[in-house]
Structure 1
């Protein structure tokens, strides 16, 4: 099912967003290939169930009015209304937020997924450089939100089979309205994603994560050389399917975990299990994973009906298991979430607290 499309004739030369370069460290050398690939594949995806707190650094929408803020809110709501297990909460204090949104300059960009956590606490993780109140603006808001959810540019999918007229691409992107240097163009267009980072096997030209391209910039496939790629203006069926796979609807209540109870973790990369912990006494506890597996694990406390982050550990790419040493309090409720990157041993990975 194709999304709504536009052409250059509808809105003029396309304006492209850029991704912020990741500050995430590369996997340690010497890892088994499948282990490294699994780490890369889900490395910037959030733990399912995360509440992403976002704030606006400029309440005037860059001088373009409150409609800009409403357009961003509408994009967040459109992704959320798919029934995904992530949630979004607007806050006023930038120090309380993971996602910080601004409306400065002429360029739109965003960090991808958990890479937003590497951005300075008072710096924008996502920026919108043009009006968001028309159809292309709405698509831009959806596109940047897709980056926040952990999705890359679709035209950089190695399965797309796109072969560029590279010098024509560099020349076109050096012109207004983008005025990109060669490095920016390479990073956002020419560069191919590692095949291990691509969750689907097929290229989706209708994806909201796709750019529009006029004819003449693509050498192969022939279809795109002749027709170009129109601008996707809505979420495609594939966009919806993939975000629901990565962030499925949460169960009403995680299973209760007893002290010293060992529970197996999912065997497939990206699988996640959530557990509820209600300590019988106030003291220091250990929450740990076991087995030959790379796991990201995070602990939250229920406060006034909301989960508030306490601490986390990510043992991916390291020769150790994850462990949280933390004081828990009697009468309070906690949730621990564990998402598997990869397992390479013969036994099951497991989690326990004591």
Structure 2
């Protein structure tokens, strides 16, 4: 990725209830973009003539269309990137689909628009006719596979590693802004600040130790980093998944375990730590309206899936993070079908037990 950097659009800060304790707020900030484990993420590539951006032609007052369609060779690089993350044994899986309305992740290849991705569940805020990920240079060139791994890392919820507050990087701010103001980026000072100089909060970062070998780290030429001294001559990560990258993915998305049954009118204790998840199978004995809800002083996200042809398909979700209520889902369930209930805990903030129940 030497000389070409990922540029992320800053999402609006979440509005949490005032007065939340620091530990509870940190858990919400750190987990709000993460997918529930076991999710099947469907991705598609744009492939039509209408799939394009309309951009101005400098000095002419006219516009032109710039395609989002990538070559099959470039698509293969992205497919290989999804495959490498999946082959770690994580609990997420990736399925390519042709219908963009079925895709949580929609991949474009607009040259000159930079490479970027929505972070984790922020992709769900994007309309079905828009990109959630873009590759702005040729992925078949050197470093292309690392670029694909990097952007997919964002789609899993990972942030830029050089913005880790534990990195203790002392930048030459003016040199960084001057470097990024020129080609090939042409970034404003604001974009440079947001993607390079700004430190993330400890709750947002991938780990409590800076990992200069991370695939989420940029390569920097000499003269931009003043401290640590060993990186004054430049920083050159290999563009591969580091041990810490793998640990992060497996911590948030561990291999799926056997699911106990969620029996109507019987409370199932959660006994989860912050960021952990419990999964249940629900097989209704009759067709009717059901309610699935969490209980206790806790911040959770509850997601309901229906198994179709062996694949869990999203039905409904509720997130009570930062509120005084508990997550609750109402849905009509059909006898003879199998459903999956996934409960991820942000944090428990009271002395009582947390649980999930359906009725």
Q: Distance in 1 between matches of 2:189 and 2:138?
A: 26
Q: Which residue of 2 aligns with 1:277?
A: 282
Aligned residues: CA RMSD? 1.6
Change (3 A) 1:185 1:264: same
Q: Distance in 2 between matches of 1:319 and 1:350?
A: 16
Q: Distance in 1 between matches of 2:69 and 2:23?
A: 48
Q: Is the 8 A contact 2:164 2:205 kept in 1?
A: yes
Q: Which residue of 2 aligns with 1:134?
A: 141
Q: CA deviation at 1:242?
A: 1.2
Change (3 A) 1:332 1:114: same
1:286 and 2:291 correspond: yes
Change (3 A) 1:99 1:181: same
Q: Which residue of 1 aligns with 2:16?
A: 27
Q: Which structure 2 segments of 5+ residues have no match?
A: 50-66
The partner residue of 1:234 within 240, 244, 248 is 240
Q: Which residue of 2 aligns with 1:261?
A: 266
When structure 1 is superposed on structure 2, of 261-270 and 337-346 the one drifting more is 261-270
Instruction: Provide the TM-score with structure 2 as the length reference.
Output: 0.92
Structure 2 residue matching 1:337: 3-state secondary structure? strand
1:38 and 2:27 correspond: yes
Q: Is the 8 A contact 1:84 1:244 kept in 2?
A: yes
Q: Is the 8 A contact 1:57 1:101 kept in 2?
A: yes
The partner residue of 1:188 within 195, 200, 205 is 195
Instruction: Provide the TM-score with structure 1 as the length reference.
Output: 0.93
Q: Which residue of 1 aligns with 2:41?
A: 52
Q: Which residue of 1 aligns with 2:90?
A: 84
Structure 1 residue matching 2:178: 3-state secondary structure? helix
Q: Is the 8 A contact 1:266 1:272 kept in 2?
A: no
The partner residue of 2:226 within 216, 219, 238 is 219
Change (3 A) 1:339 1:20: same
Q: Which residue of 2 aligns with 1:208?
A: 215
1:252-290 per-position Cα deviation (integer Å, ceiling 9, x unaligned): x41111111111213311110000001111111110111
1:79-133 per-position Cα deviation (integer Å, ceiling 9, x unaligned): 0000000000111111111000000131111110001111122100000011111
When structure 1 is superposed on structure 2, of 152-161 and 216-225 the one drifting more is 216-225
Q: Distance in 1 between matches of 2:300 and 2:152?
A: 25
Q: Which residue of 1 aligns with 2:62?
A: none
Q: Which structure 1 segments of 5+ residues have no match?
A: 1-5, 9-13
The partner residue of 2:81 within 70, 75, 78 is 75
1:223-272 per-position Cα deviation (integer Å, ceiling 9, x unaligned): 112x2111432111111111111100112x41111111111213311110
1:48-70 per-position Cα deviation (integer Å, ceiling 9, x unaligned): 00000000013799566210000
